[in-house]
């Protein structure tokens, strides 16, 4: 294997999506997609609110029929994060969604059909500053590309992306975001690398059809993590066969791992061993859930015993270590006080809240 080439996500073109900028900076925006029928405004808005609360910054809905395109108007009124329409080829649905205030359209211009149709979508997007995401997918490459390569390849995916990009550029349209999805992780990595070398439009990362919560999380972490660590990617969607809130949770954890999510709590918990003195697994899970919505850069540590305990977690702003029938509360490796086991979790939560409040004030 050759040297790992570093890319700079900053060196991409900034594209506005509603009140969010994708590209041109070091941020990676978290996206997800609803699984409700878009026309069911109540259910869709409810799901979007849950996603927002979990930390989703841009949300996509399928616009697969006229009712869905019409629902965009009302959904927009009830949410505060940018809304993206997922459209396969029906330009009329794209026009309707744009008219109804959509913030971004995911459509491949090469699939729209006649030039006039493409022109009408691009014109509407230009008038309302609506960007277009070109979604290249290894599973649905154009026939001429598949004929050339015989099967989906990274080079073929790049050719597909350039084909769609050229159509938009010929119409002097440049508010473009591109995804190069594949469910095969090495293929997706290769395709995104080629894309990052070939053009400076922001990249939307995704490993498509990655699987269930467990397997999909591992696959996504491997693929997206590799790309993020190389400096590739301006927005990310983790695709899971699960509640979309789980996608956002995984994305947040992934971004935290690479220092790309500043305002979030990092939880460190010990791997457990025979020295364990408390029910660490349930404590760690409870604290993880508790801190998931706290927007402050706090490090929390949860350790099963005090033998190597506090000293092992010097970087933690706050932490607990189990002991017989009780626990130790510590800050930056220094013991603050002893707490009875039954109060350990509630005391830790109080301390976390106090720290979070401090951050809010500063
Ligand atoms: Fe074992 Fe204690 Fe270390 Fe946890 S903190 S792994 S229980 S020695």
CB 349 within 8 A of CB 361: no
Beta pairing partners, 330: 319, 335
Interface confidence, given as ipTM, is 0.99
For ligand 1, whether the C-beta of 309 sits within 6 Å is yes
Q: From the CA of 305, how far away is ligand 1's center (Å)? A: 5
Write out the binding residues for [4Fe-4S] cluster. Answer: 270, 273, 305, 312
Half-sphere exposure of 5 (CA within 13 A, CB side): 11
Pocket test for ligand 1, best of 302, 304, 324 (most atoms within 8 A of CB): 304
Is the confidence at residue 175, as pLDDT, over 50?
Answer: yes
* Per-residue confidence (pLDDT) for residue 326, from 0 to 100: 87
For ligand 1, whether the C-beta of 279 sits within 6 Å is no
- Of 322 and 307, the structure prediction assigns the larger pLDDT to 322
For ligand 1, whether the C-beta of 274 sits within 6 Å is no
* Per-residue confidence (pLDDT) for residue 4, from 0 to 100: 62
For ligand 1, whether the C-beta of 223 sits within 6 Å is no
CB 160 within 8 A of CB 141: yes
* Per-residue confidence (pLDDT) for residue 310, from 0 to 100: 66
Domains (ranges, CATH) in the chain? Answer: 9-257 (3.20.20.20), 266-361 (3.30.413.10)
Q: From the CA of 346, how far away is ligand 1's center (Å)? A: 21
Pocket test for ligand 1, best of 268, 269, 274, 276 (most atoms within 8 A of CB): 276
Half-sphere exposure of 29 (CA within 13 A, CB side): 28
The CA distance from 10 to 27, in Å, is 8
For ligand 1, whether the C-beta of 268 sits within 6 Å is no
Give the confidence band of 1 by pLDDT, cuts at 50, 70, 90. Answer: very low
For ligand 1, whether the C-beta of 255 sits within 6 Å is no
Q: What is the pTM assigned to this prediction? A: 0.92
Give the confidence band of 351 by pLDDT, cuts at 50, 70, 90. Answer: very high
* Per-residue confidence (pLDDT) for residue 209, from 0 to 100: 83
For ligand 1, whether the C-beta of 23 sits within 6 Å is no
The CA distance from 36 to 360, in Å, is 34
Q: From the CA of 215, how far away is ligand 1's center (Å)? A: 27
For ligand 1, whether the C-beta of 281 sits within 6 Å is no
What is the rounded average pLDDT of the residues 339-350?
92
Give the confidence band of 323 by pLDDT, cuts at 50, 70, 90. Answer: confident
Angle at 151 between CA 149 and CA 153, to 5 degrees: 75
Q: From the CA of 226, how far away is ligand 1's center (Å)? A: 30
> What percent of the chain has pLDDT above 70?
97
Smallest CA-to-CA distance from 252 within 241, 260, 242 is with: 260
């Amino acid at each position: 294997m050759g040297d790992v080439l570093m890319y700079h996500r900053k060196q991409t073109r900034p594209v506005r999506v509603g009140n969010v900028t994708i590209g041109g900076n070091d941020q990676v925006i978290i996206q997800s997609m609803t699984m409700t029928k878009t026309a069911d405004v109540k259910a869709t808005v409810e799901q979007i609110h849950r996603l927002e609360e979990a930390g989703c910054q841009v949300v996509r809905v399928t616009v697969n029929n006229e009712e869905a395109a019409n629902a965009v108007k009302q959904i927009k009124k009830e949410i505060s994060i940018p809304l993206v329409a997922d459209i396969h080829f029906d330009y009329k649905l794209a026009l309707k969604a744009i008219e109804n205030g959509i913030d971004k359209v995911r459509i491949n211009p090469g699939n729209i059909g006649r030039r006039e149709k493409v022109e009408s979508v691009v014109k509407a997007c230009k008038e309302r500053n609506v960007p277009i995401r070109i979604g290249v997918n290894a599973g649905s490459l154009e026939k001429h590309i598949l004929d050339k390569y015989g099967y989906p390849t990274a080079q073929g995916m790049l050719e597909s992306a350039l084909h769609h990009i050229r159509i938009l550029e010929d119409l002097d349209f440049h508010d473009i975001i591109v995804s190069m999805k594949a469910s095969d992780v090495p293929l997706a990595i290769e395709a995104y690398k080629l894309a990052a070398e070939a053009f400076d439009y922001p990249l939307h990362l995704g490993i498509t059809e990655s699987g269930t919560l467990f397997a999909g999380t591992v696959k996504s972490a491997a693929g997206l993590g590799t790309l993020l660590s190389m400096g590739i990617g301006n927005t990310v969607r983790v695709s899971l066969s699960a509640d979309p809130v789980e996608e956002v949770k995984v994305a947040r954890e992934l971004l935290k791992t690479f220092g790309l999510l500043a305002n979030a709590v990092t939880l460190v918990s010990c791997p457990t061993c025979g020295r364990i003195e408390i029910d660490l697994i349930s404590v760690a899970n409870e604290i993880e859930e508790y801190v998931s919505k706290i927007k402050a850069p706090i490090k929390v540590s949860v350790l099963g015993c005090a033998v190597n305990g506090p000293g092992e977690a010097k970087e933690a702003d706050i932490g607990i270590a189990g002991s017989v029938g009780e626990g130790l509360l510590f800050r930056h490796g220094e013991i603050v006080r002893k707490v009875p086991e039954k109060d350990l979790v509630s005391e830790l939560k109080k301390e976390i809240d106090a720290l979070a409040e401090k951050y809010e004030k500063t």
